[in-house]
Amino acid sequence: MGIFDFLKPKTSEVNNNKIQEVVNKTNEIELTSFLNIPFGSSKEFTNEEMTKKGAVLFGEQTESTIAFNNITFGGLEVDFIIFYFYEDKFCKASVYFNVITSEFQLLDKYYSIKTNIDNKYYTSDKHYETYNYPFHKGDGQLTLGLQIKEIDIKTFWNFTNSNSNHEDDYISISLDERLNLILTYENTFLNTQYVDYYTSKRMDDF
């Protein structure tokens, strides 16, 4: 017996049951809204609903985005929440939490949010941590590694869309090079059209 064999499942059946449990939950749960604002909602409706929550417009509106601050999410302070629209249909929202430069506090908040989502929906099996040389987990250099894009940490939760012709919808949480902790809710069908449209629009300049 190897010294770490006690960490392994006693039988493959245990692991398969856990995998099947996750699959079953993703099939049962749909991601249809964010903050009770349904995907596909208009910018006007979104503005009205966020105003009712006490949120305040943040920055300039564009054809495809609208942002708000003066609001909390899950009891946590946020810098702002930005909504994305394709043809005036709400397709994605990203919550930008207050920047934290302390490695311990940053990871503590990341895993606290991850745990809350795990508990509400299901435990994600799509958590990824990448540390490029010379960085490694626990070396005390997390913030530097994130800032120079040599460390990448993110988690995904996927949800089967009720329309079998549509791809899964997603919740994701990640850390970026500016030390933003970003939580995103995405309707993949609408967001794919959003990305394709604005990618094509940018290419027109060339």
Among 9, 180, 158, 27, residue whose Cα is nearest residue 94? 180
- pLDDT computed for residue 27 by the predictor: 53
Global model pTM greater than 0.85: no
Chunk the chain into consecutive blocks of 10 residues (it has 206) and report each block's average pLDDT, rounded to whole numbers. Answer: 38 44 60 96 97 94 94 93 96 92 91 96 95 93 94 96 84 94 96 89 77
- pLDDT computed for residue 117 by the predictor: 96
Which residues have CB under 8 Å from 51's CB, separation 6+? Answer: none
- pLDDT computed for residue 205 by the predictor: 75
